[in-house]
Amino acid sequence: MKILKSYVDGRWHEPATGLVPLIDPSTEEVIAQTSSEGVDFSAVLQCARQRGGPALREMSLAERGTLLKAMSKAMRESRDELLDLSRLNNGTTLADGSFDIDGGGATLAYYAGLARGLEGGALMADGEEVPLSRDGGFWGRHLWVPRHGVAVHINAFNFPVWGFAEKAAAALLAGMPVITKPGTSTALVAQRCVEIIVDAGILPDGALQLICGSTGDLMGQLGPQDVVAFTGSAATATKLRQGEQLIAANCRFNVEADSLNAAVLAPDVESGSPVFEMFLEDIVREVTQKAGQKCTAVRRILSPQSRSADVREALVARLEAVVTGNPADEAVGMGPLASAQQLVDALEGIGELQRDGRLILGSGKRADGVGSPAGRGYFVQPTLLEAADANGATTVHQREVFAPVATLLHYDGGATAAARTMSLAGGTLVTSLYSDDEGWLGEFLDAGASSTGRIYIGSEATIGEGPGSGAAMPQTLHGGPGRAGGGEELGGLVGVQLYMQRVALQGGQGLLRRLTDGSPRGD
Q: Which residues of 94-122 are buried (b: 16+ CB within 10 A; e: fewer)?
A: eebbbbbbbbbbbbbbbbbebbeebebbb
The binding site for ligand NAP (CB under 6 A) comprises 154-159, 181, 183-185, 214-215, 231-233, 236, 239-240, 256-259, 295, 400, 402, 429, 485
- 3 state SS for 44-76: HHHHHHHHHHHHHHCCCHHHHHHHHHHHHHHHH
Residue 485: CB partners within 8 Å, gap ≥ 6? Answer: 230, 234, 237, 254, 255, 256, 257, 258, 479
What is the SS3 assignment for 327? Answer: coil
Nearest alpha carbon to residue 320 among 293, 287, 349: 287
Nearest to ligand NAP of 105, 204 (CB atom): 105
Nearest to ligand NAP of 105, 480 (CB atom): 480
Residue whose beta carbon is closest to ligand NAP: 232
CB of 263 to ligand NAP, least distance (A): 16
47, 193, 251, 295: the active-site residue: 295
256, 286, 386, 400: the active-site residue: 256
Question: Within 10 A of 148 (CB to CB), how many other CB atoms are there?
Answer: 16
Active site residue 295: yes
Q: Cα separation of 387 and 384, whole Å?
A: 10
Give the H or E element holding residue 105: helix 94-116
Nearest to ligand NAP of 92, 185 (CB atom): 185
CB of 484 to ligand NAP, least distance (A): 6
Nearest to ligand NAP of 183, 491 (CB atom): 183
Beta bridge partners, 214, equal none
Task: Tell whether the torsion through CA atoms of 178, 179, 182 and 183 is positive or negative.
Answer: negative
Nearest to ligand NAP of 304, 479 (CB atom): 479
Beta bridge partners, 269, equal none
Residue 211: CB partners within 8 Å, gap ≥ 6? Answer: 6, 8, 36, 39, 44, 179, 180, 181, 218
CB of 313 to ligand NAP, least distance (A): 29
CB of 426 to ligand NAP, least distance (A): 14
Nearest to ligand NAP of 425, 500 (CB atom): 425
Task: Tell whether the torsion through CA atoms of 197, 199, 203 and 206 is positive or negative.
Answer: positive
What is the SS3 assignment for 42? Answer: helix
Q: Cα separation of 285 and 387, whole Å?
A: 21
Nearest to ligand NAP of 163, 267 (CB atom): 163
CB of 15 to ligand NAP, least distance (A): 13
CB of 79 to ligand NAP, least distance (A): 22
Strand 261-265 vs strand 428-434: parallel, antiparallel, or unpaired? Answer: parallel
Active site residue 47: no
CB of 24 to ligand NAP, least distance (A): 17
Catalytic residues: 256, 295
